[in-house]
Chains A and B, each alone.
Chain A
Amino acid sequence: MSAPPVQPADLARRLRATGYLPGESTALVSHLAIALGKPVLVEGPAGVGKTQLAKALAEVLDRRLVRLQCYEGLDEAKALYEWNYRKQLLRIQAESDTASWRDVQDDIFGEEFLLERPLMDAISSPEPVVLLIDEIDKTDQEFEAMLLELLSDFQISVPELGRIEARTRPVVLLTSNNTRELTEALKRRCLYLWLDYPGLEHELEIVRLHTPELSQELTRRLVEVVQMVRELDLKKPPSIAESIDWARALLLLGARDLDQDMFRQTMSVIVKHRADLDVVAERVGVRLVAGASAG
């Protein structure tokens, strides 16, 4: 395993090397999270690279990424652990004649019969991992409460086994799309990082990194348009991932310039709502023509 980065600037450089361009505070907060061993709560609109940050961090730190995707109704059996009762039954039946009751009882509540779910996996892994708890806002508040023990003490209580403490400290990232307010108790245990849509230059850099083949002017034009679209009052503003997709689409189509026709044909890549399409075509499409004649 490579040595952990010691400075925010160092971390930023190495994140860059993996293809993730961090903002200034992103690198700083990630660094703090690693240095202090505290979980980070990452909030921001959809598609600004929250999940990507976790992947990049895992790569930089050379750790395995354990991911728990949250959804409504997620419970501890799916997040923490479950007893493999089929196996337990088999075990009992296999030895029902020979073994004494006491032996069996001690036996079947051993770790062998424990089905590890992501959180337990992250805790008990001998190698340190990066744990990503994705879209925590999709779960119920009850689930959040369950996470508290894990997040503050890095341990899980299993009634039959007692406490399982983390062998290694995972780096924990929680992401939230901000669809509901998280509880104070959860927030208190985390560092907070707000990721927003990047500024023009920053996004330009990101798109260039992912589609270096696209010409400089076209990329700039594209990012300018995306930023313009974001300023409109849309149901779903385009994300960074979508502007990269758009750049790739333009590359595939061999586009030379982003004129009105090209825009109309491809704008469904960045705009995904019927009503939004109309708004964008009306506002931005028109401006594009004006821009083309002026330039």
Chain B
Amino acid sequence: MAARLVDFARELREEGVMTGTSELLDAVAVLREVAWTDRDAFREALAATLAKSQEDRRIFALVFERFFFRATEAAALREGVHESSPPTHEETGDGDAPGELDLEMLRQQIARAVQQGSEGAMRDLARLAIAAFGRPGEGSGVIGVDVQRIRRQLGLRAEPQPELDADDPRAAGLPRDALRRFEALLRRELERGQIERTETLPPSRPLNELDRALPSGPLQDLAAVHRVVAQLKRRLKTQGQEHRGARRRTHVDIRRTMRASLQTGGVPVVLKERPVRPRRPEIYVLCDVSTSVTSASVFFLSVLHALHDSFRKMRSFVFIERISEVTDVFERERDFKAVSEAIGRNAGVADISGYTDYGRVWSEFREQVGDDLHRRATVIVLGDARTNGRDPRADIFASIAADAGRTFWLNPEPRLYWNYGDSVISAYERHCRAFECWTTRHLEDFVEALARPTSMSPDP
């Protein structure tokens, strides 16, 4: 059992769920508490110890299905066990005339089971359906096609079908999620059949991106971005502290002074001061969301999202032609999908032409943030520096960079394309440090570069 669990944990890790040894130990411990014959309890108990966030949970469910389905099939193959055929199978008749069982009856029965959503009944009926409609041995070979064909023949649809009798459960339409579950069961039974016929297991395939439906969409792994940003946070926080005077303008800590005075009989000889805590870095992030960076903006938004997780003192702006502050969107929403939708819908980015106007962005940024910029602030720009032929206004940018302690530019284009066409990154690069950044790998490089304080900011 423990060995199986280790295998399972390895599969989870391959799919990106971080499961440590201590979690595995916990899993073994909880399994002592639940009956392993109860499938749901077994799964929930494992999930409680191994999958510790909602995303992990989703992946866990998929891997669990895959792993234990394969495990039972492999065991069955080894033992040479074959399913005893359901009663209406080959023996009773030739495919199209399944004995005494009326096809229409079966249709109705299945529809009723789907409507009630009872898992057990659906599983049994899925087998019957395959026996009745699946025409064994004549399958198209592609399971997905077979599933759809059987479903069509059963007449299962989510939409109401008024042409049927009123007492037919299909007439009012069927619940979509139950339908989907029924399809999954069909698929499973078909796979089982295939394994039995070929007597081999199909190769275990990694979950594809669609299956996992990670919120960051096709481009990047949100969790990876979060990890890198957590590093970034530590770097920004600890940086430059060695220059700061350890005791400069502090307050006397009454409590600690009193306590120290106990050693001298209540006379405060040694004054204790409050330690100087480094101020948290303040960050301003400007993020381009125009069409020229569409492919990168999901990535950028996930970076923003991760930054917001780590920094409390942070203001973020998105811009196309003008800028708009989205700090509150991120503060309110945790779900990445909701955030990106909210920004897409009502961030109020005045999208008249859809072309970036950096000059205008700088001047508006100045206006909105203005005097708040100070030496301890960090400005990060995420954009491709393509001005569409408009005035880059590098002078305003220079003044922003001069006021802020540090200014960084993350460009989603490979360095090769910089300054090519309408890209004016060189005009800005004079005033900040520019990085190419379109994968988490690059983001890490950026964090690495941050750690080298010597070449930190272009001091004016």
Report A's interface with B, CB cutoff 8 A.
8, 24-25, 28-29, 31-32, 35-36, 38, 40-41, 43, 72, 83, 85, 88-89, 92-93, 96, 101, 105, 108, 177-181, 184, 187-194, 233, 235
Contact = CB atoms under 8 A, between A and B. Distances in A.
10 contacts: A8-B34, A28-B34, A36-B29, A41-B52, A83-B259, A85-B255, A181-B309, A191-B48, A192-B57, A194-B54
A192 B33 contact: no
B334 interface: yes
Nearest to A104: B262
Nearest to A101: B265
A225 B265 CA distance: 70
B226 interface: yes
A31 B53 contact: no
Contact of B33 (A36, A105, A189, A233): A36
A9 to B, nearest CB: 10
Nearest to B41: A28
A192 B47 contact: yes
B173 to A, nearest CB: 16
In the complex, which of the residues A8, A93, A101 has the most CB atoms of chain B within 10 Å of its own CB atom? A8
Interface string B348-375: 0000000000000000000000000000
Given A28-B34, A192-B51, A93 B266 contact: yes
A107 to B, nearest CB: 11
Query: Which applies to chain B's interface (DSSP): helix, strand, loop or mixed?
Result: helix
Contacts of A38: 26
Interface in B397-448: none
Contacts of B226: 181
A284 to B, nearest CB: 20
B23 interface: yes
B26 A184 contact: no
A222 to B, nearest CB: 21
Contacts of B52: 41, 187-188, 190, 192
B57 to A, nearest CB: 6
A192 B45 contact: no
A179 B312 CA distance: 12
Nearest to B56: A192
B334 A89 contact: no
A24 B33 contact: no
A28 B38 CA distance: 12
Contacts of A92: 262, 265-266
Nearest to A181: B309
B30 interface: yes
Interface string B192-220: 00000000000000000000000000000
A35 B309 contact: no
B154 interface: no
A184 B18 contact: yes
7 tightest A-B CB contacts, nearest first: A187-B52, A25-B44, A192-B52, A191-B48, A29-B48, A180-B309, A35-B33
A219 to B, nearest CB: 22
B102 interface: no
B54 A36 contact: no
B22 interface: yes
B48 A108 contact: no
A190 B20 CA distance: 12
A181 B309 CA distance: 7
Contacts of A93: 266
A179 B334 contact: yes
Contacts of A83: 259
